[in-house]
Homo-oligomer: A and B are copies of this chain.
Amino acid sequence: MRDKQPCWILRTEATECCWKMAGRKVLIVYAHQEPKSLNGALKTVAVEELSKQGCTVTVSDLYAMQFEPRATRNDIVDCLHNSDEFNYGVETWEAYKRGGLSNDLIEEQKKVQEADLLIFQFPLYWFSMPAIMKGWMDRVLVQGFAHEFPNCYDSGLLKNKLALFSFTTGGSKEMYAKGGINGDTRYLLWPMQHGIMHFCGVKVLEPHICFAPEYVSEEKRKEMLLAWAQRLKTLWKEEPINCSPEWYFK
């Protein structure tokens, strides 16, 4: 039987933590077109390391799945609640309750429901995730499933889960510094971490950022992969961030 107690409350010795990790379920939502990319390699590292720990790892490889990012009437397989004026939020909420969502959404929701940890692996596109991953958020995290007012933020319906945003950038670390031209990476994490994950009750771990992998040596890229593997070894001992404006804009 799976222990549903959140792992981050454990502050005990390594052996006990290892025992807790076994059986944990991880969903990696992955958005890169090229398996040979650094994003592809980071995803593979995570699958291997977490499997080694005894976790069950599922990957939603969005491009390979040709995942549909557009939020349309097709997401509701049966009749509409109000066919006179289409309201996506209301229609998917109603469809969720009566089991009328399209199969691809039901499949993704099952994966989320089972997961203790969600890892989002992607290249940063325009200070955010690629559209195919934004579409996953728009379509999968339906009202009734992930939140249902007033059950949002700390009482969101996906509480007791963890999320981690792992991404690569085009710009350097200096460009993404607080006084840098792109501003602090924390600024751009606000909509993703607070606006999506925290809103659904998910606790957020520190992001994992590989800066400008296209402009560094092969050796440096290998170090990036090693650093990720290393972090994953003790991931379950990490405490979530305090997901409030202070963390982002202080």
Contact = CB atoms under 8 A, between A and B. Distances in A.
B183 A245 contact: yes
B34 A195 contact: no
Nearest to A73: B33
Number of copies: 2
A4 interface: no
Interface string A198-232: 01000000000000001000000000000000000
Nearest to A91: B33
A181 B243 CA distance: 11
25 contacts: A33-B72, A37-B86, A63-B70, A63-B72, A67-B70, A69-B69, A69-B70, A69-B131, A69-B134, A70-B132, A71-B125, A71-B132, A87-B214, A125-B137, A126-B134, A126-B199, A127-B191, A128-B134, A128-B191, A128-B195, A131-B138, A134-B134, A188-B190, A188-B195, A249-B249
A248 interface: yes
Nearest to A90: B214
A34 B72 CA distance: 10
Interface of A: 33-34, 36-37, 63, 66-67, 69-73, 84-89, 125-128, 130-132, 134-135, 137-139, 141, 153, 170, 181-183, 187-188, 190-192, 194-196, 199, 214, 245, 248-249
A63 B248 CA distance: 34
Contacts of A132: 69-71, 131, 135
B134 A191 contact: no
Given A33-B71, A126-B134, 8 more contacts: A63-B70, A69-B132, A69-B134, A126-B195, A130-B138, A131-B132, A153-B181, A190-B190
A132 B134 CA distance: 9
Contacts of A86: 33-34, 37
A127 B63 contact: no
